[in-house]
Amino acid sequence: MMNEKASEELLQQHGIRPTANRIMIVRALAGAGQPLSMIDLENKLLTIDKSGIYRSLVLFRQKGLVYALEDGSGEMKYEFCRGKNEEESDRHVHFFCEQCRQTYCMEEIAIPEVNLREGFLVHSINYMVKGLCPQCVKKRAKCLKGSY
């Protein structure tokens, strides 16, 4: 997990004034190891109200600290940008487990280059694979064994 000093420095590098709430949000995102939704953050940060979390996430997106992705769950998920901007650094595969509803980064798998027809301008690419995560596969196998 990211310590308070590192969180402050990260915020400052992105031109964001470090406040207690912003530091807590950065630390929650850093410690999660996977993209988090607003609800996830609300559950982790009980001392910060929903509007405070939302305003911080909007600012973080504007300053290029985090980006949002749609995983098909109906909720936006947030994770840190890994480079100067979303287009440069965050084109990697995500996996959404349809059972536990968790989203996982598959950073080692790059999204293949997409060559669109002339005249089209790409702003973002969202490559989402859906299925069951290893834990849910194991749970399902145990349930199937027990049903006979």
Q: In this structure, are strands 92-97 and 128-131 parallel, antiparallel, or unpaired?
A: parallel
Name the pairing type of β-strands 76-80 and 128-131.
unpaired
Helix axes 20-32, 50-62, angle to 10 degrees: 80
Distance CA 137, CA 19 (A): 41
What is the C-alpha separation between 4 and 26, in angstroms, rounded? 9
The pLDDT assigned to 26 comes to 95
Q: Phi and psi of 98, rounded to 5°?
A: -75, -10
**What SS3 class is residue 46?**
coil
Its pTM stands at: 0.75
Would you say how long the chain is, in residues? 148
Contact call for residues 134 and 141 (beta carbons, < 8 A): no
Judged by average pLDDT, the poorest of 18-27, 36-45, 122-131 is: 122-131
pLDDT tens for each residue of 54-65: 999 999 999 999
- Per-residue pLDDT tens digits for 71-129: 878 889 998 886 554 455 566 788 999 999 888 888 888 777 888 899 998 777 778 89
* Cβ proximity of 86 and 67 under 8 Å: yes
How many whole angstroms separate alpha carbon 53 and alpha carbon 42? Answer: 8
End-to-end CA distance of the chain: 44
**In sequence order, what are the residues at sequence separation of 6 or more whose Cβ sits closer than 8 angstroms to the Cβ of residue 114?**
122, 125
